[in-house]
Amino acid sequence: MTRALHRPIKRIVVKLGSSQIADFAMKPKVAKLSGLCRQIKELQTQGVEVVLVSSGAIALGMGELGESVRSQELAQLQARAAIGQAALMRLYSILLHKVSLKCGQILLTWDDFDDRTRFLNARHTMEAILKQRVIPIINENDTTSTEEIKFGDNDKLSALVAGLLRADLLVILSDVEGLYGANKKVFNEIKEITPEIEGLAGGTKNTQMARGGMKTKIDAVKIATQARVPCVITSGDIKDVLVRLVNGEAIGTYFIEKVNKELDGETEHEFIRSCFKNCKGG
C-alpha cells in the first residue's frame, strides 16, 4: 500500500526513544541500531539528509553502571546522562563508521529555541554539518538542563528541530505501529488533531526508560504540523522502515501538515519560540 506524500523528501528528522536504543538491561540494541545506520546510508545515496534526535543517554548511563532502576534524584540522573551520552555517541560513531559515515554531537536546551541569535546559530551549525554529509546526533543537554529531566521530552524536541531545519518529514520511531483507534486499528492518515484524537493518546507504562508515551508524541505532532512539517509515528521494529517511508510506503500513522500558516523570518522564530514556552510550561 502506497502513500501520496505531499512533497519530495530531501531532509528528514528521525526521533528515537530510549526503548529504541537500550534493552531492559540498559544495554544498547546494537543489531537494531546497525540496521538504522544502514538505512541512513541508503537514504543518503538517494539524496536524503537525515538528522537524528536520539534519547538513551540516561538508560545507557545506567547500563554502564550496572543499574536497572532509574533514580529519582536529579543529580544522579544528570550524572548518568553524562556517562551515557559518551557511550551513546561512541556507539553511533562505531556503527556509522561501518557504513562509511560520520556523526556529530549537538546538545540543545530550550534556550536555544528561545533566543533568536542562538536559534539561527543552531540552524546554521546543523546545516553546515549536513553539507559535510555528516549525521547530526541531537539530544537534550540533560547534564545541565534541570527542567529537561523533570519535564522535557525528545518528542517535542524533535518537532522543534524539524521546524528549525524546515524538514520535509518528521519520523517518530516508537514501540507501537502508530496511533490506534477505538477499534484497535492503526490510523493510516490524520488531517487534524481533534480532542477525540488526543483522547486516544495515553502515557507510558515503561517508566524505567521512557517519559512520554503517545501523549507527548501527539503534542510533538501538533507543533511540527503547525510548522508545516508532516509527521509519521510508527514502530522502529519494522524492517527498513525509514527507506520504505521515504519511498512512499504507507507505514504507521501519517499526520498531514497545516497549509494555512506561512512562516518566514521573525514569524517563523516567534512560532517556534511560542512552542518552546508551551513545552517549558508543560
- Summarised one tens digit per residue, pLDDT across range 236-261 is 999 999 999 999 999 999 999 987 65
CATH superfamily of 11-281: Acetylglutamate kinase-like (3.40.1160.10)
Q: With CA atoms as reference, report the closest residue to 193 among 227, 226, 162.
A: 226
**Which residues are within 8 A (CB) of 24 and not within 5 positions of it... i.e. 6 or more apart?**
68, 208, 209
What is the pLDDT, as a whole number, of residue 173? 96
CB atoms within 10 A of CB 8: 9
Q: Specify the DSSP class assigned to residue 180.
A: B
The CA–CA distances, whole Å, from 215 to 37, 60, 242, 274, 282 equal 28, 24, 23, 19, 12
CA separation for the pair 28, 19 (Å, rounded): 10
- Summarised one tens digit per residue, pLDDT across range 36-92 is 999 999 999 999 999 999 999 999 999 999 999 999 898 899 999 999 999 999 999
- Summarised one tens digit per residue, pLDDT across range 77-125 is 999 999 999 999 999 999 999 999 999 999 988 778 888 899 899 999 9
Q: What pTM was computed for the model?
A: 0.90
Task: Read off the amino acid at residue 208.
Answer: Q
- HEC string of 117-139 equals HHHHHHHHHHHHHHHCCCEEEEE
Considering only 119-128, 145-154, 217-226, which range has the smallest mean pLDDT?
145-154
Crossing angle for the helix pair 265-281 and 116-131, nearest 10 degrees?
Answer: 100
What is the pLDDT, as a whole number, of residue 122? 93
Task: Read off the amino acid at residue 210.
Answer: A
- Summarised one tens digit per residue, pLDDT across range 149-205 is 444 578 999 999 999 999 999 999 998 999 998 888 999 999 999 989 888 886 555
Query: Average pLDDT of 226-233?
Result: 93
What is the pLDDT, as a whole number, of residue 148? 47
Better-predicted residue by pLDDT, 234 or 267: 234
Q: Please, what's the b/e burial string for 100-126 (b: 16 or more CB within 10 A of its CB; e: otherwise)?
A: ebebbbbbbbbebbeeeeebeebbeeb
CA atoms within 13 A on the CB side of 214: 20
